[in-house]
């Protein structure tokens, strides 16, 4: 399942980037070395050079077709960039010589320039995808927005649970103890708290439903488990929390 995220860098409203964060992981790119870079024009734009509302639906449907063609060829559609009256789509494939398939898919609906080249290091993708703290902060904002859009009313702090994964159970236990020593509210480490087969645990903290506050709490706890190889695996909350209506 893809994890599409979007952001607008620089001057707000003049450039919008969407990328599939699943391909931030090198193993997801295995064998995909050929880039097909499609630049679309000829659609209606607004004053900022971004797709106008009337053009969005057509571009979205085209993206679905491009993704399907890429999948049939063993590749993937991984990013799009809207700016300066252009709409750019990045596709990676396992072999060259397949660019014509995309031209026939686009047809005459849009004007399109297609460039196909070798890009084994995924330079085009890396130029627009976020990593590290920038990526996690974007995920925080996306998740908070989804909760807000769901209609849930939050009247106070939430019990936010941060999930961490480890290479082995012993590392997870050492990180658990480190968090307890740092003052975090964790019960005594008894049997069954950490699974030897899939070592990890959740740490619950009280936090406002705010991306900046959640990010600060995430960074603090992540720094404490990092010496033990802990990897942040996402966060969530209990919808039955008493401060949620």
Q: What is the pLDDT of residue 1?
A: 62
The CA distance from 11 to 138, in Å, is: 17
Q: Are residues 177 and 110 in the same domain?
A: no
Residue 173 belongs to some domain of the structure: yes
111 and 32 in a common domain = yes
Residue 220 is predicted with a pLDDT of 95
The pLDDT of residue 191 is 64
- Write out the H or E segment, with its range, that includes residue 161: strand 158-165
Indicate whether 156 and 230 sit together in one domain. Answer: yes
**Boundary (domain end) residue, out of 102, 126, 150:** 126
pLDDT at 229 over 70: yes
Residue 188: band (very low, low, confident or very high) from pLDDT cuts 50, 70, 90:
confident
Residue-wise pLDDT for 57-109, tens only, equals 999 999 999 999 999 999 999 999 999 999 999 999 999 888 888 988 998 88
Listed residue (105, 123, 111) closest to 34, CA to CA: 123
In a domain, 120, yes or no: yes
Same structural domain for residues 30 and 70? yes
Average pLDDT over residues 145-163: 85
Average pLDDT, the chain: 91
Q: Of the spans 120-134, 181-195, 197-211, which averages the highest pLDDT?
A: 120-134
Q: Give the model's pLDDT for residue 97.
A: 87
| pLDDT value of residue 244 | 47
Give the model's pLDDT for residue 185.
87
Write down the pLDDT at residue 205. Answer: 93
Q: For residue 11, what pLDDT band results from cuts at 50, 70 and 90?
A: low
**Per the structure, how many domains does the chain have?**
2
Taking the C-alpha atoms of residue 66 and residue 104, their distance in angstroms, rounded to an integer, is: 10
Distance of CA 75 to the CA centre of its chain: 19
Are 142 and 91 in the same domain?
no
Which residue has better confidence, 112 or 241? 112
Which pLDDT does position 151 carry in this prediction?
A: 79
Provide the residue range defining the domain that includes 115. 4-126
Q: Within a domain: residue 22?
A: yes
The residue with greater pLDDT, 190 or 97, is: 97
Q: Assess if residue 244 is contained within a domain.
A: no
What does R_g of the chain's alpha carbons equal in angstroms?
A: 22
Q: Give the DSSP per-residue string, 47-77.
A: TTSSBPHHHHHHHHHHHHHHHHHHHHTT-EE
């Amino acid at each position: 399942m893809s994890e599409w995220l979007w952001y607008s860098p620089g001057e707000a409203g003049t450039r919008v980037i969407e990328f599939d964060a699943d391909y931030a992981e090198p193993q997801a790119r295995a064998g995909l070395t050929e880039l097909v870079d499609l630049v679309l024009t000829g659609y209606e734009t607004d004053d900022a050079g971004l797709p106008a509302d009337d053009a969005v639906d057509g571009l979205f449907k085209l993206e679905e077709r491009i993704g399907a063609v890429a999948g049939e060829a063993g590749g993937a559609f991984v990013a799009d960039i809207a700016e300066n009256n252009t709409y750019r789509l990045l596709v990676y494939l396992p072999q060259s010589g397949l660019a014509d398939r995309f031209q026939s898919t686009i047809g005459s609906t849009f004007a399109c320039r297609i460039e196909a080249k070798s890009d084994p290091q995924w330079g085009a993708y890396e130029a627009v995808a976020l990593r590290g703290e920038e990526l996690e902060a974007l995920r925080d904002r996306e998740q908070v927005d989804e909760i807000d859009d769901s209609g849930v009313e939050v009247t106070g702090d939430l019990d936010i649970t941060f999930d961490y994964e480890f290479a082995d159970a012993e590392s997870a236990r050492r990180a658990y103890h480190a968090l307890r020593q740092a003052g975090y509210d964790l019960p005594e480490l008894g049997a069954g708290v950490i699974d030897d087969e899939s070592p990890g645990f959740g740490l619950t903290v009280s936090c406002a439903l705010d991306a900046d506050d959640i990010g600060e709490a995430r960074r603090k706890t992540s720094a404490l488990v990092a010496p033990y190889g802990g990897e942040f695996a996402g966060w969530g909350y209990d919808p039955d929390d008493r401060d949620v209506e």
